[in-house]
Amino acid sequence: MELDVVGLSRLQFAMTALYHFLFVPLTIGLSILLATMETVYVMTGREIWKRMVKFWGTLFGINFVLGVATGLTMEFQFGMNWAYFSQYVGDVFGAPLAIEGLMAFFLEATFVGLFFFGWDKLTKRQHLAATWAVAFGTNFSALWILIANGWMQHPVGAMFNPDTMRMEVTSFFEVLFNPVAQAKFVHTVSAGYVTASMFVIGVSAWYMLKGWHIAIAKRSIAVASAFGFASALSVVVLGDESGYEANLNQKMKLATIEAMWETEPAPAAFNVVALPDQAKRENLFAIEVPYVMGLIATRSLTEEIPGINELVEESKDRIRQGAIAWDALQKIRDNPKDVDPAVRDTFVQNQHTLGYAYLLLSFTDDPLNATNEQIDAAAWSAVPEVWPMFYAFRIMVACGMFFILFTAVFFYYSSSAKLDRLAKDRRWILHIAVWSIPLPWIASEMGWFVAEYGRQPWIIEGMLPTSAAASNLSVTEVLLTLAGFIALYSTLLVIEITLMLKNIRKGPDDGRTESHEPARPVSTGAMPAPAE
Amino acid sequence: MILYELIDYSTLKMIWWLLLGVLLIGFAVTDGFDMGVGALLPFVGETDVERRVAINTIGATWEGNQVWFILGGGAIFAAWPPLYAISFSGFYLAMFVVLAAMILRPVAFKYRSKRPDPEWRNRWDWALFTGSFVPALVFGVAVGNVLLGVPFTLDPDLRMTYEGSFFGLFSPFSLLCGLLSVCMLVMHGGAWLGMRAGGVVAERGRRYGSFAAIGAIVLFGLGGFLIANGFVDGQRITSDIDPNMPANPLWKTAVIEDGAWMANYAAHPILWLAPALGFLGAFGALVGLQTRYEKLTFLCSKLSVFGIISTVGVSMFPFLLPSSVQPDASLTVWDSASSHATLFNMLVATIIFLPIILVYTAWVYKVLWGKVDEKTIERDNETAY
């Protein structure tokens, strides 16, 4: 990646988005866990559940606020750094962002104040409703953002309008019910649920190892492990759904994830390990598991999955067709009111390939008379670097499998007596829980990397290349803001983690005076049930 | 399905111009007093407890208010894509400064009182001040630049080039608008503190709010004088206006013209109500801050904000973002909107959700209503910001 304006803008977007997503999954998942715990409190009237809500709520708040703060950047940098993208697809892409504000963000942000400050001002049920409003708000928020992102992956329900020089919506319904968006939404919120569950289990396991706040730790593990186990299954199943959708719509992404250069006879094998060589267009080495890939991507034994080389050949045809669309567009643009209707027809017939002409424009100023070498170069420019895709995907999947196993183990041990046994005889499991806390974050970030890097060189799959989408800024300007974001975000991250650790160490107010001290050794057995 | 043809395109453009106003005014009226309180923080609070009184008058609700800002961004993106693209990329570094400041603000609210350490709290107080004062100033400066015209060009593919610089944004007139914005929001914040805070914090809030109200009246008057007397040029569309035209700014022609920002008032004298409200509201707030009709004062302050922002809108109509170097590329209501279908879909979403938002926001304010004073902070020491 070159460090020109486009490259730096990509770097800045990637950095700010990945940073934003350090906070989002925990917010999504923890809001539901808080609402669940508070529901138990309202149904049973037991004070300990309220203390749990307040404790996890404090950590939620520290995390939430950075999600909100860094979300501001996300809403505005499309216009700042990607002005041509904003102009080109704002008609389609802006609507989900605006509706996210209307339907989701107002809800969560307004009620989160009541969640923290309304305990004494509301009845139990009213406060519970406020907590659920926060939970629904955060989850709806994810829905609309993923509808927007899903459209970038699979731009349905829109057409290019040569009069306004942009894409315009033809079916809002198709944009909303885009199958890619729906699969991504459930996959992403499930990942958030897993993140929060692993976090709650990890912190609680640390308390159990220390012998602190045992009553609250046990109940937290019980809730989080059940929720986490269901979510871990869902995240993998829906991830599989995403893979299936990718085969239908983003074949290049799938082929690079798989490091599959040549089309294989069906059903294709799954490469567990490979050493892809981009220059030679082959794998220097690979360990394969037969059939698996074909089954995941096509859900059949007979359907072929195209390899990278075949996809590149196909895109050459699109590039040639795109040049025709581009040429017609120039004629319409220069004489919009009385251009020959035949030219408009030519454009309409070829408009779906217009984006490929922009790829070609990086190699020639005269797309209609491009040489075969230029077309070849443009076609190969549409292949993302394979090895980062291949390994990012595998790290994510390995984490996902581990989460199923991990949450299943804790689900099994989640009764009070079994947890005592764990704290006594199998402390290593609790240690693993503590050290596993960062894993869901790693998995989420890898997932976004695969989704976004795998779409390159497109900012909107097949429609607009990233290189054509950036604002006309200077390198200095983007370097300045990039440095500014790095400085600001690093400082905030250090402060956030420090505060998190401080509050975890301080622990919940569990009605015991010794709660700040490393209390009795765990081997003295279970703590008596708290006064309820 | 062509449901959207129920309302014709030109009407939808008008509705979305009004809604753009609703969003900007909604932002200024709600998040505006948060920013006013933040900008007043070092002045109304000398001790830690006093500062916490000021912060906790807005502590539980600033977050919802800030969504007006985010929604504003999203709605401009959805309804006026060229406006979103050109203004944010053109004002690139200024936008970054606003973003950085506005990122500090939420974090400062939440983290400030997590530690008793006075140094820690002091630093966050400065972050709160910066996060409130800087956006208030820059938004005003940006509006000033919009009134002056922004040096951007559009090529036939509608790709924008900005020819100005960061420091070029700060001209005398735009700084005047920036200061007007600060005064307006500080007046609003002062009125809020007078109503919601107790004791010395409320006293000081009223005092500084009064100064700010005087400042707002003077600066608003001065700005109007400069525009009316040819110091700021407006623009006029010279081609035939077809309100149903496709959204392509280059399909019209326009010229820069002395006094064009006054033309709408001559054609429709009723529009004088907007600047009149700006003045009368600020004057009412000034009187109220002295005589302590707290809620009425706050209402006057709101009306003033409404009047001042509306004045900018109706003066420029139909222009949204004039280009000072290529007037034909200026963005207007008729040529910068989203498509007919998108405007309609967004309107449906707004009609459904905006009333719901207003209802639950009002309910939340009602639940959390009550004076915040030093006793409240001592009582809620653990939970308050």
Amino acid at B83: L
B121-145 average pLDDT score: 96
Quick one: how far is CA B334 from the chain centroid? 23
Please, how many CA atoms are within 13 Å of residue A387, restricted to the half-sphere of its CB?
12
> How far A341 CA sits from the closest chain B CA (Å)?
18
- A residues 61-100 near B, CB within 8 Å? 61-62, 65-66, 68-73, 75-76, 78-81, 83-84, 86-87, 90-95, 97-100
- By Cβ distance, the residue of A72, A121, A473 closest to B89 is A473
> How far A279 CA sits from the closest chain B CA (Å)?
35
Residue A61 to residue B78, Cβ atoms within 8 A: no
- Chain B partners of A503 at a C-beta cutoff of 8 Å? 114
What are the CA-CA distances from residue B58 to residues A157, B62, B130, B214 (Å)?
43, 6, 16, 24
- A residues 328-357 near B, CB within 8 Å? 333-334, 336
- Output helix, strand, coil percentages for chain A, rounded to the nearest 5: 75, 5, 20
- Neighbouring CB atoms inside 10 A of B170's CB total 14
Q: Could you report the average pLDDT of every consecutive run of 10 residues in chain A (532 residues)?
A: 88 96 96 97 94 95 94 94 96 95 94 93 95 96 95 94 94 92 92 96 94 93 95 86 73 86 83 87 85 79 84 91 92 88 91 92 88 91 90 93 95 88 90 96 96 92 93 95 96 95 89 46 42 36
According to DSSP, residue A528 is labeled P
- Chain B partners of A166 at a C-beta cutoff of 8 Å? 81, 158
**For A264-273, how does the pLDDT look when each residue is reduced to its tens digit (9 = 90+)?**
887 888 888 8
Sign of the alpha-carbon dihedral angle for A155, A157, A162, A163: negative
A305-A308-A310 Cα angle (round to 5): 75
B71-76 average pLDDT score: 93
Q: Hey, is B148 helix, strand or coil? A: helix
Sign of the alpha-carbon dihedral angle for A110, A116, A117, A118: positive
What pLDDT does A528 receive?
42
User: Is-contact A363 A376, C-beta < 8 A?
Assistant: no
Considering chain B, what percentage of its residues have pLDDT values greater than 90? 88
- Neighbouring CB atoms inside 10 A of B166's CB total 14
What pLDDT does A290 receive?
81
List Cβ neighbours of A99 (8 Å cut-off, separation of 6 or more): A144, B74, B346, B349, B353
A164 touches chain B (CB under 8 A): yes
Structure tokens at A111: 């009620």
- By Cβ distance, the residue of A86, A101, A170 closest to B67 is A101
> How far B347 CA sits from the closest chain A CA (Å)?
10
B63 touches chain A (CB under 8 A): yes
Assembly ipTM: 0.93
Cα–Cα distance measured from residue A46 to residue B21, given in angstroms and rounded to the nearest whole number: 49
Instruction: Residue A504: name the closest of A195, A56, A66 by CA.
Output: A56
- Neighbouring CB atoms inside 10 A of A66's CB total 26
3-class secondary structure for B325-380?
CCHHHCEECCCCCCCHHHHHHHHHHHHHHHHHHHHHHHHHHHHHCCCECHHHHHHC
- By Cβ distance, the residue of A91, A94, A495 closest to B111 is A495
What pLDDT does A512 receive?
56
Residue A109 to residue B246, Cβ atoms within 8 A: no
Considering chain B, what percentage of its residues have pLDDT values greater than 70? 100
Q: In chain B, where are the structural domains located?
A: 30-379
What are the CA-CA distances from residue B345 to residues A369, A479, A528, B66, B127 (Å)?
42, 38, 59, 24, 39
B349 touches chain A (CB under 8 A): yes
What are the CA-CA distances from residue A415 to residues A419, A506, B378 (Å)?
6, 25, 41
Cα–Cα distance measured from residue A202 to residue A26, given in angstroms and rounded to the nearest whole number: 13
Instruction: Residue A232: name the closest of A60, A391, A405, A395 by CA.
Output: A405
List Cβ neighbours of B110 (8 Å cut-off, separation of 6 or more): A61, A62, A65, B385
Structure tokens at A114: 């009541």
- B residues 298-337 near A, CB within 8 Å? none
Residue A65 to residue B106, Cβ atoms within 8 A: yes
Residue for token digits 């920036």?
Answer: B178
Residue B88 to residue A76, Cβ atoms within 8 A: yes
**For B342-384, how does the pLDDT look when each residue is reduced to its tens digit (9 = 90+)?**
999 999 999 999 999 999 999 999 999 988 988 888 888 878 8
Q: In chain A, where are the structural domains located?
A: 13-252+386-472, 264-298, 308-380
Position B1 confidence tier, pLDDT thresholds 50, 70, 90: low
What pLDDT does A238 receive?
79
Model confidence pTM above 0.90: yes
Q: Checking phi first, is residue A163 left (phi over 0); if not, alpha (psi -120 to 50) or beta? A: alpha
Question: B171: exposed, middle or buried (C-beta count within 10 Å: 0-12, 13-18, 19+)?
Answer: middle
**For B294-316, how does the pLDDT look when each residue is reduced to its tens digit (9 = 90+)?**
999 999 999 999 999 999 999 99
- Chain A partners of B69 at a C-beta cutoff of 8 Å? 72
Instruction: Residue B36: name the closest of B3, B58, B51, B16 by CA.
Output: B58
List Cβ neighbours of B143 (8 Å cut-off, separation of 6 or more): B177, B181, B312
Q: Which of B27, B89, B380 to mutate to test the interface with A (most CBs of A within 10 A)?
A: B89
Q: At what angle do helices B172-196 and B273-291 cross, to 10 degrees?
A: 40
Q: In terms of CA atoms, which chain B residue is nearest residue A165? A: B157
B149-B152-B158 Cα angle (round to 5): 125
What pLDDT does A269 receive?
83
- Output helix, strand, coil percentages for chain B, rounded to the nearest 5: 75, 5, 20
- Chain B partners of A69 at a C-beta cutoff of 8 Å? 102-107
